[in-house]
């Protein structure tokens, strides 16, 4: 009797355990590098999904992109990657080449998504070697932020569309003031005592290179050859692009030398314009008393082009099919509901979601620039070639030209050689 009761108790416990297990939601991990207010927007979307899908629970983790990718590599090496991983389109090749990402072409088409439903650059940014590895989430590109009050004071009507390099320079000169209120064109202007700069640009980090890259694209050139194996652009075009940027600082004095915090300078009204991405929108909105807007980057050369990138959502390779299915379901839901992602400043890649961005303030520059966005080349050793680290040749070249006022051609040649060396070494 006792034995039978014992068996019954055990069986009941087993059944209860199985029922409890079955009722447990599938646990998913989602990693992304959105560490600013954009992270809060994504967290809000994840929370919404968790509350409307009781069978799944997603834990969202953010950290800066570089350590995030290190963490991803180490976790993938021991077979424990996240279930969903955010990254940029150009980041895909370095992980896809190591077979760490699941090809998603079928999943995307089975979900009913087609290329025409997304911004072209964003859609194209999800492929590597003809295979689609990610869902396109958004686009983000450079634009010019401007301070409305300083424009009004200088009697300038802010542009709403693309303007020429000369028009931009004229504005920047008018907006640059020395302590006597003189502009750089006025006789007696004192470049050593400037109290307000017309234009803030990033010259100490890799953004100097990105601004140069978009100016190269405005002349119809890319940075690497078709096979992405060697640096390949006419040095005359490269020279002209760097020259334009260098002159803004050292010839026209409309931009400060080696600004350590261009965003802060813009927020407190020390610079009237700033070239930056939409990720700064929340900071501008949070700045009390700052009236701001955006317009596209100037078209300095023959074509319209602006550097940009785009976030994508990938599903790292793993063995648990149920988790992979749940991860796919979440990402499909996220793309369909990505209009709210526009609140982060990024421009949603999904056409219907992007419509919402048009109703938000300060998006003009980005939305006008979006069709002309050019991304960096897609190469497996992207982390080293297009690195933002201080040892990166593209960063050093930018600093040599934009901060140290060095002769452009030798620096450019050095940069090209260094990048060629990295490319020849492979991943």
Partner 1 sequence: MKKNLRLSIIPYLFLIPYLFAFIAFRFGPSIAGFFVSLTRWNIVGTPKFIGFSNYFELFGDPSFITSLINTLYFMALTVPALIVLGLLIALLVDQNLKGRTVTRTFVFMPYVIMSTVVGVIWMWIFDTHFGILNYYLSFFGIKPIAWLSSVNWAMPAVAITTIWWTVGFNMILFLAGLQDIPEELKEAARIDGASNWQIFWNVTFPLLRPTTVVVLMLTLINSFEVFDQVYVMTGGGPSMATLTVIQYMYFQAFQYFRLGYGSAVAYVVFAFLIVLVLVERQLLKKVGES
> Distance (Å, rounded) from C-alpha 265 to C-alpha 176?
13
> Distance (Å, rounded) from C-alpha 16 to C-alpha 12?
6
Give one DSSP letter per residue of 402-426, joined into a string: HTS---HHHHHHHHHHHHHHHHHH-
Task: For the CB of residue 269, give the shortest distance to partner 1 in the complex, in Å.
Answer: 11
Question: Which stretch, 30-38, 122-130, 201-209, 287-295, contacts partner 1 (CB under 8 A)?
Answer: 201-209
From the list 311, 275, 356, the residue with the least C-alpha distance to 34 is 311
Task: For the CB of residue 399, give the shortest distance to partner 1 in the complex, in Å.
Answer: 4
**Three-class DSSP category at 128:** strand
> Distance (Å, rounded) from C-alpha 154 to C-alpha 183?
11
Helix pair 321-336, 37-52: axis angle to 10 deg: 120
Alpha helices in 219-318 (DSSP H): 235-250, 262-267, 281-286
**Applying CB under 8 A, which of residues 205, 285, 337, 339 lies at the interface with partner 1?**
205
The footprint of partner 1 on residues 71-100 (CB under 8 A) is 73-74, 76-77, 98, 100
Task: For the CB of residue 381, give the shortest distance to partner 1 in the complex, in Å.
Answer: 8
Q: Is 412 in the site for partner 1 (CB under 8 A)?
A: no
**Applying CB under 8 A, which of residues 260, 319, 359, 424 lies at the interface with partner 1?**
260
Q: Is 67 in the site for partner 1 (CB under 8 A)?
A: yes
Cβ partners under 8 Å of residue 48, min gap 6: 337
**Applying CB under 8 A, which of residues 35, 61, 70, 235 lies at the interface with partner 1?**
70
**Three-class DSSP category at 219:** coil
Question: Which stretch, 51-59, 70-78, 177-185, 364-372, contacts partner 1 (CB under 8 A)?
Answer: 70-78
Task: For the CB of residue 260, give the shortest distance to partner 1 in the complex, in Å.
Answer: 5
Pick the closer one to partner 1 by CB: 111 or 396.
396
Task: For the CB of residue 418, give the shortest distance to partner 1 in the complex, in Å.
Answer: 9
**Applying CB under 8 A, which of residues 265, 280, 328, 368 lies at the interface with partner 1?**
265
Inter-residue contact 279 to 36 (CB < 8 Å): yes
Inter-residue contact 183 to 177 (CB < 8 Å): yes
- Judged by phi (left if over 0) then psi (alpha if -120 to 50, else beta), residue 301 lies in beta
> Distance (Å, rounded) from C-alpha 136 to C-alpha 421?
32
> Distance (Å, rounded) from C-alpha 296 to C-alpha 312?
23
Q: Is 237 in the site for partner 1 (CB under 8 A)?
A: no
> Distance (Å, rounded) from C-alpha 33 to C-alpha 47?
17
Phi, psi of 37 (to 5 degrees): -60, -25
**Applying CB under 8 A, which of residues 384, 408, 412, 415 lies at the interface with partner 1?**
384
Question: Which stretch, 28-36, 168-176, 352-360, 387-395, contacts partner 1 (CB under 8 A)?
Answer: 387-395
CB atoms closer than 10 angstroms to residue 76: 20
Number of amino acids touching partner 1 (CB under 8 A) = 37
Task: For the CB of residue 289, give the shortest distance to partner 1 in the complex, in Å.
Answer: 17
Pick the closer one to partner 1 by CB: 265 or 329.
265
Q: Is 261 in the site for partner 1 (CB under 8 A)?
A: yes
**Applying CB under 8 A, which of residues 27, 35, 64, 66 lies at the interface with partner 1?**
66
Q: How far is CA 362 from CA 134, 277, 341, in A?
A: 29, 12, 15
Over the window 140 to 179, marking each residue x when it contacts partner 1 by CB under 8 A and - when it does not, the resulting string is ----------------------------------------
Record the tokens describing residue 92, joined without a space: 């895909």
Question: Which stretch, 30-38, 169-177, 217-225, 250-258, contacts partner 1 (CB under 8 A)?
Answer: 250-258
Pick the closer one to partner 1 by CB: 115 or 204.
204
**Applying CB under 8 A, which of residues 389, 405, 407, 410 lies at the interface with partner 1?**
389
Inter-residue contact 270 to 197 (CB < 8 Å): yes
The footprint of partner 1 on residues 268-297 (CB under 8 A) is 268, 270
**Applying CB under 8 A, which of residues 51, 52, 116, 192 lies at the interface with partner 1?**
192
Pick the closer one to partner 1 by CB: 41 or 383.
383
The binding site for partner 1 (CB under 8 A) comprises 66-67, 70, 73-74, 76-77, 98, 100, 192, 203-205, 256-261, 264-265, 268, 270, 381, 383-384, 387, 389-391, 395-396, 399-400, 403-404, 427
């Amino acid at each position: 009797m006792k034995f039978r009761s014992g068996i019954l108790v055990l069986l009941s416990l087993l059944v209860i355990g199985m029922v409890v297990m079955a009722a447990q939601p599938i646990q998913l991990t989602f990693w992304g590098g959105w560490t600013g207010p954009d992270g809060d927007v994504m967290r809000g979307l994840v929370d919404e999904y968790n509350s409307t899908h009781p069978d799944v629970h997603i834990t969202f983790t953010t950290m800066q992109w570089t350590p995030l990718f290190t963490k991803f590599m180490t976790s993938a090496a021991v077979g424990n990657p996240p279930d969903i991983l955010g990254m940029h389109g150009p980041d895909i090749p370095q992980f896809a080449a190591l077979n760490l990402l699941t090809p998603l072409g079928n999943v995307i088409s089975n979900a009913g998504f087609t290329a025409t439903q997304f911004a072209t650059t964003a859609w194209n940014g999800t492929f590597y070697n003809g295979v689609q590895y990610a869902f396109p989430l958004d686009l983000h590109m450079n634009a010019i932020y401007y301070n409305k009050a300083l424009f009004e004071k200088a009697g300038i009507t802010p542009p709403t569309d693309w303007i020429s390099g000369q028009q931009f320079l004229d504005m920047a000169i008018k907006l640059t003031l020395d302590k006597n209120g003189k502009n750089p064109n006025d006789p007696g202007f004192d470049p050593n005592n400037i109290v307000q700069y017309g234009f803030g640009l990033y010259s100490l980090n890799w953004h100097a290179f990105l601004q140069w890259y978009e100016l190269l694209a405005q002349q119809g050139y890319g940075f690497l050859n078709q096979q992405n194996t060697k640096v390949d652009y006419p040095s005359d075009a490269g020279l002209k692009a760097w020259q334009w940027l260098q002159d803004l600082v050292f010839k026209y004095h409309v931009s400060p030398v080696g600004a350590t915090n261009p965003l802060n300078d813009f927020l407190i009204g020390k610079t009237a314009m700033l070239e930056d991405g939409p990720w700064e929108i929340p900071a501008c909105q949070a700045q009390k008393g700052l009236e701001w807007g955006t317009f596209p980057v100037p078209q300095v050369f023959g074509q319209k082009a602006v550097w940009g990138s785009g976030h994508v959502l990938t599903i790292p390779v793993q063995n648990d099919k149920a988790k992979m299915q749940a991860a796919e379901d979440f990402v499909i839901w996220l793309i369909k509901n990505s209009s709210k992602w526009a609140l982060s400043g990024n421009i949603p890649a999904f056409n219907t979601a992007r419509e919402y961005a048009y109703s938000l303030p300060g998006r003009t520059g980005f939305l006008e620039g979006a069709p002309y966005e050019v991304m960096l080349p897609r190469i497996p050793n992207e982390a080293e070639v297009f690195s933002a680290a201080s040892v990166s040749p593209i960063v050093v070249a930018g600093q040599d030209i934009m901060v140290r006022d060095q002769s452009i051609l030798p620096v450019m040649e050095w940069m090209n050689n260094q990048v060629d060396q990295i490319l020849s070494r492979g991943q």
